[in-house]
Amino acid sequence: MWPILNDFIPVLLAFGIDRLFRGFPNRFHTIDAFGFVLDWLISRAPNLERSFLRFLYGGMIVLMGTAIVGGMGLLLQQCFVLLPWPIKWIAIAIALKLTLALYNVALATEEVFETLKAEDVPRAQALVRYYVVNQDTARLNAYELSSVTVGEVAKNASDGIVAPLLCYALGGLPAALAYCFVDAADTVMGHHDDTYEWLGKIPAFLDDLVNFIPARLTAWAIIVAAIFSDANVRVAYLVWWHEARLSDSLNSGYPMSSMAGALEIEIEKFGHYRLGAGHRHAEPGDIPRAVRLLYATATLTVIGLFFLMTLIHLARP
């Protein structure tokens, strides 16, 4: 039992540190730090006129970057092993916390909710564009801003909680940090425009690959978490079953459809898809409900992680 706790206690400490400090500033989170590095690399890219060369350059960035970040994680992990156990747990917890996004998301969405409640739509548009989605929100009304925010909370349950914790359980800090680099590369380069269309092909493919299982596990975690929240588990299951594949993403439709059903609302990306069609439009009050469901999902994920780690340790010779 001791080796299992030795790996699992840092997970609890990571969430404790996150809660104690109410989330680290964004600039300390790996996604933002990796995003800064990726922006720097892209800004200094050679003038690649041919699409194939841009395709290769984007692949080189994400593959080499993932290898380097994974190697740094391995080095950190080996260094932490040399520390006495209380300090080692805290050190691993701090490093692991930098791969997670729970209270940062809660704080950001809480600010969006309070702004919408005050009916300050222009400021809410700016907040959603800055904190939630890196896209134009100038034409979105309060209901549409609420829908976008709830959808991003659902996706964050996968990208910011389930996926990094699953990677940590299977491959330790190197895997968790490497996952975050791939996720950041897709966030920065996975756009359909003249600049990134070919540059982001390989990052987008790798992101789809590493999120394939976590997104589906997250959908089920949200469905089960609905039992313990003010949500509808039956509708969550039905919307997930019928509409998870309607999204324009290979993975994000799974947690978003579960969230839409659980809250009995529509989550819509205008001109692309509508999940939970036939239910009411999302309202600002649905944002804190989505965050409570996010907390419940995170709790179930941690419990499931303990059992997964136990199985992994029992399977070792």
Specify the pLDDT at position 176.
96
- Per-residue pLDDT of the chain (317 residues), as tens digits, is 567 888 899 999 999 888 877 655 554 467 778 888 888 888 877 676 677 888 888 999 999 999 999 999 999 999 998 999 889 999 999 999 999 988 888 888 999 999 999 999 999 999 998 887 777 788 889 999 999 999 999 999 999 999 999 999 999 999 999 999 999 999 888 877 777 888 889 999 999 999 999 999 999 999 999 999 889 999 999 999 999 999 888 999 999 999 999 999 999 887 788 999 899 999 999 999 999 999 999 999 999 999 999 999 888 77
φ and ψ of 216, to 5 deg: -75, -35
Query: CA 207 from chain center: how many Å?
Result: 11
Taking the C-alpha atoms of residue 252 and residue 177, their distance in angstroms, rounded to an integer, is: 21
Closest CA to 9 of 86, 77, 103: 86
The number of distinct structural domains making up the chain is 1
Domain range enclosing 186: 2-315
Specify the pLDDT at position 28.
46
10: which residues sit within 8 A by CB, 6+ positions away? Answer: 89, 90, 92, 93, 96
Question: What is the reported pTM?
Answer: 0.92
Taking the C-alpha atoms of residue 16 and residue 221, their distance in angstroms, rounded to an integer, is: 21
Rounded alpha-carbon distances, angstroms, from residue 104 to 54, 139, 316:
34, 26, 36
Specify the pLDDT at position 23.
53
Q: What is the DSSP string of the chain?
A: -HHHHHHHHHHHHHHHHHHHTTS--GGGSHHHHHHHHHHHHHHT-----SHHHHHHHHHHHHHHHHHHHHHHHHHHHHHHHTS-HHHHHHHHHHHHHTT--SHHHHHHHHHHHHHHHTT-HHHHHHHIIIII-SS--TT--HHHHHHHHHHHHHHHHIIIIIHHHHHHHHHHHHHHHHHHHHHHHHHHH---STTTTTTTHHHHHHHHHHHHHHHHHHHHHHHHHGGGTTS-HHHHHHHHHHHGGGSSSTTTHHHHHHHHHHHTEEEEETTTEEETTTSEEP-TTHHHHHHHHHHHHHHHHHHHHHHHHHHHHHH--
Specify the pLDDT at position 24.
52
Specify the pLDDT at position 13.
95
Specify the pLDDT at position 42.
83
